[in-house]
Amino acid sequence: MNSLQHTKQLGQSIWLDNLSRTLIREGGLQKLIAEDGVSGVTSNPAIFFNAISKSPYYRNDVARMKAAKTPAEPLYESLVIPDIQAACDLMRAEYDRTQGRDGYVSLEVSPALAHDAAGTLAAGLRLKGAVQRKNLLIKVPATPAGLIAIEELIAQGCSVNVTLMFSLAHVNGVAQAYLRGLQRLIDGGGDPCAVKSVASLFLSRVDTLVDKQLDARGGDALQLRGKAGVALAKLAYRDYQTTFKSGVFAKFATHGAMPQCMLWASTGTKNPAYSDVLYVESLIGAETINTVPDATLDAFRDHGKAGATLENGMAEAQAHFNALTRAGIDMHQVGETLQREGVVLFEQAFDQLLKLLD
């Protein structure tokens, strides 16, 4: 049993943060499912830019649709929706085995809609209708407008992956949007058993920004570097337990609703001074997901150690946050800054993708 398989036995799902026709058609994704227990896929415009620009399996379709003068965004969707459907089909056995708790594939709405609640809602429902797979997650950012759309999507029975979360405020705001949506779904006679939501907390980007601020302060503050992302995840899991493992969620659970699972994202280590499996080894716990890029997945399989680590050091995580506050680091503001930057980066990646197809 390798470390990836052991992690699954400990209750954490490992998802792949990548998708392409090469992975699908040459059997790479199926191999990861069969040999490593990979049980989900996340995608985004940057991933699809890389796939479409490098994989030979898109060329004929791109040429044909460009010749037909298909506009760039519809062309993009016509390319990626079959990929999403194929990945959903590969994950369907896991979805069925876990009765809808695992085995999902994520497709992101246009990042240009990050501040447009109505546009996000319409796009999410349209993409759900186009893909026609039960194990699809519509990916929506945790912006203020995104929270409005998330609640409405859940209320209409649409499963959602919430992205671009960088703070405890984001975690708790997203959880409340999910609960409001569930309540409306139940009140309207809908079936909450068919709705899945995951809350994607980005980690390595947090350390990158916090480390930069600590470097500027110097002195004793330097001892705090490289620990904010893991501490944030542990405290977010504590909040998850408070919300979804207590009486707060009991009335929803009686209707068959599933908790909104925490998903660790941005788990490829950016600082070469830190372990290349830092955001995997430190955060293994039940009912959580870690979506990993190929290099991190390979590294963890090769030399990662699987153990139930997530609930260890909760007091230390809080103490670390307190120490950051004393050092003048405002973690709420860090989260807001990173979310704004994340929206811009996603928009830029999407624009780059559309230019490729124009």
Bridge partner residues of 292 (DSSP): 16
From the candidates 128, 139, 196, 227, give the one annotated as an active-site residue: 139
Asked about 69 being catalytic, the answer comes back as: no
Query: Among candidates 228, 158, 227, which has minimal Cα distance to 196?
Result: 158
Q: Is-contact 290 302, C-beta < 8 A?
A: no
The dihedral region occupied by 256, where left means phi > 0, alpha psi between -120 and 50, and beta the remainder, is: left
Helix (H, G, I), strand (E, B) or coil at 288: strand
CA-CA distance, 83 to 89, in Å (whole number)? 10
Residue 237 half-sphere exposure toward CB, CA atoms < 13 A: 26
- In this structure, what token pair is assigned to residue 157? 């029975």
**In terms of DSSP H, where are the helices of the chain?**
3-9, 21-25, 28-36, 45-54, 59-67, 72-97, 117-131, 144-155, 168-187, 204-217, 228-244, 247-253, 278-281, 294-303, 314-326, 331-357
The dihedral region occupied by 103, where left means phi > 0, alpha psi between -120 and 50, and beta the remainder, is: left
Bridge partner residues of 137 (DSSP): 106
Cite the active site residues: 139
